[in-house]
Amino acid sequence: MNGNQETCEITVGGQLHVGEFPRAPVRFKLQRALQDALGFTDWDRKEMTNRGPDDDPIVPSGEGDEYAVPMIYFAAVGICWPEPIQPTFRQCKHDPITFGEVVFEHFLEKHGDRPKVVQELQDEGRRLLAEMVARVTSKIAAAMREEAGNSGAQEETSTTG
């Protein structure tokens, strides 16, 4: 494991594994894919940025893709998994749905067609994706707060010399 990466725990088939969260761009790629699969449009995403903490949640205005949602959760597990799953996310051209299919097939071969394992994969993927996005957004928010404290007030400008 790379020392700069954040580790995560993944439980599948009753076994605990220690994996790594991906870098921030991959986290946001998964988040965007999930938003698309749930039916969120660009307009919806714009509305999300304008809502306050006490506002009602935004309801997707587009049509969701029931097939894509679990595949994205499976991809989240596969991306965090301690051993590479072949073909890799990169080899799948960074397509979360395609990679999710690969991960699903990998675990079907490893654990058999057991509904419990499929449900575990979905639950773990949902949890991992939420955690990885929350962690990176909190880091970004902390960095923005720190940077805001480092900028001094602008000196007065004079036109008289």
Is the pTM value of this prediction over 0.85? Answer: no
Q: Which pLDDT band holds residue 141 (cuts at 50, 70, 90)? A: low
3 state DSSP class of 8: strand
- On the CB side of 46, CA atoms within 13 Å amount to 4
Examine the pLDDT at 66 and tell me if it is beyond 90. yes
Q: Catalogue the E-assigned strands of the chain.
A: 7-12, 15-20
Read off the pLDDT of each residue in 95-106 and give the average, rounded to a whole number.
Answer: 97
**CA-CA distance, 90 to 42, in Å (whole number)?**
26
Q: Is there a contact between 80 and 22 (Cβ–Cβ < 8 Å)?
A: yes
Token pair of 113 as six digits: 């067609």
Can you say whether the dihedral through the CA atoms of 24, 26, 30, 35 is positive or negative?
A: positive
The packing angle between helices 96-111 and 24-38, to 10°, is: 90
pLDDT the model gives residue 152: 56
Q: Is 113 left (phi over 0), alpha (psi -120 to 50) or beta?
A: beta
3 state DSSP class of 44: helix
Read off the pLDDT of each residue in 88-95 and give the average, rounded to a whole number.
Answer: 98
Read off the pLDDT of each residue in 54-75 and give the average, rounded to a whole number.
Answer: 95
pLDDT the model gives residue 117: 86
